[in-house]
Amino acid sequence: MNGTSANCLADVNQPVSADARGEVPFVSLLVACRNEEKYIARCLDSILASDYPKERMEVLVIDGMSVDRTRQILTDYAKRNPSMRLLDNPKTYFPSAMNVGIQNARGDVVLITSAHSLCDSKYVSACVRYQLVSGAENVGGVLRIRRGAETVTGGAIALALGSKFGSGNAYVKTGVDEPTWADTAAFGCYRRELFGEIGMFDERLLSSSDLDFNGRILAAGGKILLVPEIVVHYFADATLGAFWKHNFADGVWISYAMKFGKRAFSWRHWVPVAFVLSLVTACALGAVNRRFLWLGLGIAAAYAAVNVAVSLQIAVRERDPRHAFLLPMVFIVRHFAHGIGTLYGLVLVVLPGEHWKGRRGRKA
């Protein structure tokens, strides 16, 4: 039922139903972080402002041994909020953070979020409500991409990620109009027993463990529900340099996951590498046959035309002509970095040994 409307439907404004004991499900909300002094306070404030009953929720912050002020901020919050616990993640990466959190969680329901994001006040209650009504193994919302810096570049990166040209059919980023069965959702809300049924997060997959986990849900016959009323505000990269590193690492892990016998990808993840490979192949063959060179130029021209058209459309919509000049470069970085990264990952797959530990330019 992926990609089709889900007619399960809960009213997001109704309270979560209590069980026979008169209690709503106990929720463990996991927050992975490392060196997030810029964002962690805002993240925790948004979680603590949740409308879910405070006595039925705990917040587990799993810190990847931060070396900035993050640890101090977390300690202060934990002292002021008895529902919050601070846990160590010595391995530092996201999947190990999730496993530490799951092993320490007391909840019937486990929710995941990131220190790099903000949750709406109804995030927890809406996730739990839709899960109870739909029976889905994973319920989550859409990412509302926010600029990582108050600059034109930061704004352009956020706009690119929220567009179909930038993210394809990743509805978690481009949005949906009604609850929809999908292949992923923002972070996720899971039944606690699910981890005993399909396993924990694979700690070998430093940047695609969430895709792998969702893939295992679907392979086991489970469902993932994407709900537009559930909104998570996510801060994008602030600069083109950080954006390149992020997309390159994401591209590597799309193919490099196969090193471990995993299929942590959808068809959309292969579009950038197909585009890059077609250009490289056409240019290489153009050395012996000029027709291939013209083919490569045609592919490049078609891409440029679509890129400029989409950028102009967004610039007009946002009423900011600067985006007409900056967005084409952002899209180029997005597509080429991801495509080149995927090619590099394919090379690493056939080489003996493990050669890649990168993850989006930062650890969890």
State the pLDDT at residue 1.
40
| Mean pLDDT value of segment 21-35 | 89
Which one of 205, 238, 271 terminates a domain?
238
For residues 64-103, one letter each, b for 16 or more C-beta atoms within 10 angstroms of the residue's C-beta and e for the rest, the string is bebeeebbebbeebbeeeeebbbbebebbbbbbbbbbbbe
Phi, psi of 29 (to 5 degrees): -105, 120
Establish if 8 belongs to a structural domain: no
Residues 159 and 268 in one domain: no
Q: How confident is the model at residue 364 (pLDDT cuts 50, 70, 90)?
A: very low
Residues 212 and 284 in one domain: no
Residues 282 and 232 in one domain: no
Residue 347: pLDDT over 90: yes
State the pLDDT at residue 206.
85
- Report strand pairing: 57-63 vs 27-33: parallel
263, 208 Cβ separation under 8 angstroms: no
| Mean pLDDT value of segment 290-303 | 94
H or E element at residue 113: strand 109-114
Residues 232 and 301 in one domain: no
Three-state SS at 2 = coil
CA distances in angstroms from 137 to 6, 197, 304, 306, listed in the order given: 14, 11, 41, 38
State the pLDDT at residue 77.
95
State the pLDDT at residue 9.
55
Which one of 238, 272, 294 terminates a domain?
238
211 vs 362 pLDDT, higher one: 211
Which one of 238, 271, 303 terminates a domain?
238
Establish if 267 belongs to a structural domain: yes
| DSSP-assigned letter for residue 24 | P
Q: How confident is the model at residue 352 (pLDDT cuts 50, 70, 90)?
A: confident
Name the amino acid, one letter, at 294: W
Residues 221 and 295 in one domain: no
State the pLDDT at residue 354.
76
Residues 35, 256, 258: CA angle, nearest 5 degrees? 130
Q: How confident is the model at residue 359 (pLDDT cuts 50, 70, 90)?
A: low
Establish if 307 belongs to a structural domain: yes
> Long-range contacts of range 190-194, CB-CB < 8 Å, 24 or more positions apart?
190/109, 190/110, 190/111, 190/112, 190/137, 190/138, 191/108, 191/109, 191/110, 191/131, 191/137, 192/28, 192/105, 192/107, 192/108, 192/109, 192/110, 194/137, 194/222
Residues 104 and 204 in one domain: yes
Radius of gyration of the chain (CA): 21
State the pLDDT at residue 268.
86
Residue 235: pLDDT over 70: yes
Residue 273: pLDDT over 80: yes
> Long-range contacts of range 216-219, CB-CB < 8 Å, 24 or more positions apart?
217/137, 217/138, 218/2, 218/183
Establish if 145 belongs to a structural domain: yes
| Mean pLDDT value of segment 288-302 | 93
Establish if 12 belongs to a structural domain: no
Cα separation, 285 vs 171, whole angstroms: 37
Q: How confident is the model at residue 360 (pLDDT cuts 50, 70, 90)?
A: very low
Number of domains, the chain: 2
- CA torsion 214-219-222-226 (nearest 10°) is 40
Q: What pLDDT, in 10s, does the model give residues 315-335?
A: 999 999 999 999 999 999 999
Establish if 4 belongs to a structural domain: no
Establish if 251 belongs to a structural domain: no
Residue 142: pLDDT over 80: yes
Residues 190 and 230 in one domain: yes
Cα separation, 24 vs 21, whole angstroms: 9
Cα separation, 269 vs 339, whole angstroms: 9
Bridge partners for 142 per DSSP: 231
Establish if 19 belongs to a structural domain: no
Range of the domain at 322: 258-350
Residues 218 and 280 in one domain: no
Residues 121 and 233 in one domain: yes
3-state secondary structure 125-185: HHHHHHHHHHCCCEEEEEEEEECCCCCHHHHHHHHHHCCHHHHCCCHHHHCCCCCEECCCC
Closest to 148 (Cα-Cα) out of 269, 307, 272, 42: 42
- Residue 275 CA, chain-centre distance (Å), reads 23
Residues 219 and 151 in one domain: yes
CATH of the domain at 95: 3.90.550.10
H or E element at residue 95: helix 94-104
188, 112 Cβ separation under 8 angstroms: yes
Give the side-chain half-sphere CA count within 13 A for 303: 20
Residues 262 and 140 in one domain: no
Residues 230 and 91 in one domain: yes
